[in-house]
Amino acid sequence: MDEIITAIANVGFPTVVSIYLLVRFESRITDLTNSINRLEQTINNVIK
């Protein structure tokens, strides 16, 4: 907990929140990227 407070004091609250959200949503972004790639492959298969 002290590390979080120190980080907020050093770099600011918005930066800490941004880093937290990027780390937390990384797996979801990866899943969405994979879904988009599969969709692209499916569309290309249908068009051919």
pLDDT at position 31: 95
Cβ atoms of residues 24 and 17 within 8 Å:
no
Share of the chain above pLDDT 70, in %: 100
Query: In this model, does residue 39 exceed pLDDT 80?
Result: yes
C-alpha to C-alpha distance for 3 and 31, rounded to whole angstroms = 30
C-beta atoms surrounding 22 within 10 Å: 10
pLDDT mean over 16-37: 92
Tell the burial category of 16 from Cβ atoms under 10 Å away from its Cβ (0-12, 13-18, 19+).
middle
pLDDT at position 16: 83
Query: In this model, does residue 45 exceed pLDDT 90?
Result: yes
C-alpha to C-alpha distance for 42 and 28, rounded to whole angstroms = 21
Give the mean pLDDT of the chain: 89
